[in-house]
Amino acid sequence: MAGVVRLSPPTTLHKTAGSSWSSAVQKFARGIPAKLLILVLLVIDVYPVFWLVSTSLKSTQEFLNTPFWALPRSLAFQNYADAWTLGRIGLSLQNSLVVTIPSVVFILLLGAAAGFTLEVMIWKGRNTVLLVILGGIMVPVQMILLPLFTIYFKIGLTNTLWPLIFTYIGHGLPLTTFLMAAYFRSVPRELFESCTLDGAGILRSFFSVGLPMVRNGLLTVALLMFFSTYNDLLSALTFITSRDKSTVQVGLLNFQGEYGSVLYGPLFAGICMTVLGTLVVYLFLSRQIMQGLAGGALKG
Amino acid sequence: MNQVLGDKRAILILLGPALLMYSLIMVIPVVWSFGYALFRGNLIEGFTYVGPANFVRLFQDEQVASAVRFTLLYTLVISTGQIVLGYSLALFYTFVLRRSSNLIRTLVFFPVVLPSVAVGLLFSRLFAVAPNTGPVESLLNLVGVAPFDFFAGAGTAFWVIVIMDLWRSMGFYGVLLYSGLIDIPVEILEAARIDGARGWRLIRSVVLPLSLPVLVSAVIFSLNASLKVFDTIVALTNGGPGYQTTPITLLMFQTSFVYSSFGYGSSMAILISVMCFAVTAFIFKYSRRDLTEGKAA
């Protein structure tokens, strides 16, 4: 992390004759607005999630009859069981992973290969191809929704998860290709040239040298693509017509529509499970996730 | 050397699959959408050629006008909020918390990774009045506001949407803009300080211009994301009350799949794309004059 900026003047210049004790008090007093702001941020960000978890453990009676700040009297884990089976959260989570994991793997594989070909290899017309692919970054999903629906409908895929996988791969490719090309640009060209001199074919240098060299980039892009795929609603709502195939986002929406005004506890438990699932991932990879999401936005 | 780096067969193997997927999923459907816009009908009833009639209708349709108005208002409010809050957070991280900002940055960032439907449903309960008085309503009642339903009026529903989306995204923009601020060389700030620039003046004349490239990228990203808003609104209000919080994306979805008019839906999709392109091109062109590096997007 280059250059952490300091705004306050160097303390030595401003030290008055006062004792170290009073300067400590002053220092503390100056820190109060900052601490207050941190406290406010903490409450704003954490409280809704805390309330969600606490409410998800209340029984329906308790939810209706106690004020919002009351903690659950007994832990109604039955809510979670109901959400899992009745609300089909378990099935939705499974569907989401079945869609997301292959999508991300193929986006990365195809995008890295394309980025490598467009950045490292030398051939006529590569700038044109790069430009055509970059144009895709600007295309909203709405532009491809209806024709794709027609295609999937005609070839009978509308009740499977395939349409989602295909759509996510196609729509994720432009940004991935662009980002991967940028990562390959920062690998010294001499590396690939010396590979070639050592007798390696270009495919070999891609798989054994190129991919390992950009592994940080791969992880960053993978996280970006994971969250944009996992959290997608529009495509999932369009292409999945069968209840058994709904992803987490569509599943939650259906659950709310069907039982939302009766089974309060289980609905909260369902929301809670999907939220905590992503939070656990975030807990372990927060730095890379922040880097990936911010990087995708800056370069996209 | 160039023979290997220009190996035709390898190019085909490496680029072929990506190009094929891209053509099938993106290029062909985009062209197809332009075609659909000239027809009326759907998959069941078949299609009839109507020429530019869909676009004529687009400009006369009061519902489209209201959806576009809502989208623009939403975009204006949300993007302003995201940039202002995000930049304030970034300044707070960089200049006040400095090295100890890591934890708080991580914490404020997390809502953006949560499933948007979950966040929408959570906020509909946070602001609920029935069956159980939610936290926000309870606090308002405590300070003497009479109970009312946030989701019954277009104005209050709009503000709940705004609060939710800012809650979701401010940490994200904070981190995004922070990455621009920490790249400012310390020497420049020191020099400015020696020249007597402090506080607000330092931010306006030194920090702001130097972080402009990142700021422009953030503005472009924010505007594009806001114009395409869909998930959170579907989960929170589903466009209601009536159609008063329906963005153009939701109207396009309903037109296409609830009212089954693919042709008209496609013309709305084109409108959405045009809006995104126009905004991006405008910001890009407008900001380019000030940019020394000119590689914002």
Contact (CB<8Å) B110/A282:
yes
Give B15 to chain A, closest Cα distance, Å: 5
Question: Does the ipTM surpass 0.90?
Answer: no
A17-32 average pLDDT score: 67
What is the distance between the alpha carbons of residues A2 and B184, in angstroms, rounded to a whole number?
A: 9
Task: Determine contact: A118 vs chain B, CB below 8 A.
Answer: yes
Q: Give the distance, in angstroms, between the CA of residue A80 and the centroid of all CA atoms in the same chain.
A: 24
Cα-based torsion angle of the residue sequence B35, B40, B41, B45 in order, rounded to the nearest 10 degrees: -110
- Render pLDDT for B167-224 as a digit per residue (tens, 0 to 9): 999 999 999 999 888 888 888 888 888 888 777 888 888 888 888 888 988 999 999 9
Query: Which domains, ranges and CATH numbers included, belong to chain A?
Result: 18-77 (no CATH), 87-259 (1.10.3720.10)
Q: Give the distance, in angstroms, between the CA of residue B28 and the centroid of all CA atoms in the same chain.
A: 26
pLDDT at residue B142, rounded to an integer? 84
Task: Determine contact: A6 vs chain B, CB below 8 A.
Answer: yes
What is the distance between the alpha carbons of residues B194 and A250, in angstroms, rounded to a whole number?
A: 57
Q: Tell me which residues of chain A, numbers 13 to 32, contact chain B at a CB-CB cutoff of 8 Å.
A: none
Task: Determine contact: B42 vs chain A, CB below 8 A.
Answer: no
- Render pLDDT for B80-94 as a digit per residue (tens, 0 to 9): 999 999 999 999 998
Taking CA atoms, B162 is separated from A41, A184, B231, B237, in Å, by 17, 39, 13, 12
What is the distance between the alpha carbons of residues A78 and A82, in angstroms, rounded to a whole number?
A: 6
The C-alpha angle B259, B261, B266, rounded to 5 degrees, equals 130
Beta carbons of A281 and A223 less than 8 angstroms apart: no
pLDDT at residue B297, rounded to an integer? 39
pLDDT at residue B50, rounded to an integer? 87
Task: Determine contact: B103 vs chain A, CB below 8 A.
Answer: no
Contact (CB<8Å) B118/A133:
no
- Render pLDDT for A170-207 as a digit per residue (tens, 0 to 9): 999 999 999 999 999 988 888 888 888 888 888 888 99
Contact (CB<8Å) A297/B110:
no
The residue of A129, A142, A208, A230 whose CB has the most chain B CBs within 10 angstroms, and thus the best one to mutate to test that interface, is A142
pLDDT at residue B65, rounded to an integer? 94
Q: Which residues of B touch A125 (CB under 8 A)?
A: none
Report the residue from B33, B122, B269 with minimal CB separation from A52.
B122
Strand partners, B40: B48
Task: Determine contact: A155 vs chain B, CB below 8 A.
Answer: no
Task: Determine contact: A182 vs chain B, CB below 8 A.
Answer: no
Contact (CB<8Å) B221/A145:
no
Q: Tell me which residues of chain B, numbers 234 to 263, contact chain A at a CB-CB cutoff of 8 Å.
A: 234-235, 249, 252-253, 256-257, 262
* Of B273, B294, B166, B5, residue with least CA distance to A122: B5
Q: Name the closest residue on chain B to residue A207, using Cα atoms.
A: B14
Beta carbons of A107 and A136 less than 8 angstroms apart: no
Q: Name the closest residue on chain A to residue B15, using Cα atoms.
A: A114
Contact (CB<8Å) B14/A300:
no
Domain B58-288 carries which CATH code? 1.10.3720.10
Task: Determine contact: A75 vs chain B, CB below 8 A.
Answer: no
Beta carbons of A220 and A104 less than 8 angstroms apart: no
Question: Has residue A8 got a pLDDT over 60?
Answer: no
Q: Which two tokens stand for residue B286?
A: 């407008």
A33-39 average pLDDT score: 87
Q: Name the closest residue on chain A to residue B16, using Cα atoms.
A: A114
pLDDT at residue A2, rounded to an integer? 37
Contact (CB<8Å) A233/B230:
yes
Residues of chain B with pLDDT under 50: 291-297
Confidence of residue A101 (pLDDT cuts 50, 70, 90): very high
What is the distance between the alpha carbons of residues B138 and A68, in angstroms, rounded to a whole number?
A: 8
pLDDT at residue B239, rounded to an integer? 85
The residue of A99, A146, A258 whose CB has the most chain B CBs within 10 angstroms, and thus the best one to mutate to test that interface, is A146
What is the distance between the alpha carbons of residues A169 and A232, in angstroms, rounded to a whole number?
A: 13
Q: Tell me which residues of chain B, numbers 64 to 93, contact chain A at a CB-CB cutoff of 8 Å.
A: 92
pLDDT at residue A6, rounded to an integer? 40
Contact (CB<8Å) B175/A271:
no
Task: Determine contact: B186 vs chain A, CB below 8 A.
Answer: yes
Contact (CB<8Å) B217/A298:
yes
- Render pLDDT for A39-93 as a digit per residue (tens, 0 to 9): 999 899 999 999 998 888 888 778 877 777 778 877 778 888 888 888 888 899 9
Contact (CB<8Å) B202/A7:
yes
Task: Determine contact: A146 vs chain B, CB below 8 A.
Answer: yes
Report the residue from B112, B217, B273 with minimal CB separation from A140.
B273
Q: pTM for the whole thing?
A: 0.88
Report the residue from B10, B98, B116 with minimal CB separation from A4.
B98
Q: Which residues of B touch A166 (CB under 8 A)?
A: 21, 24-25
pLDDT at residue B289, rounded to an integer? 59
Contact (CB<8Å) B1/A196:
yes
A150-168 average pLDDT score: 92
Beta carbons of A286 and A223 less than 8 angstroms apart: no
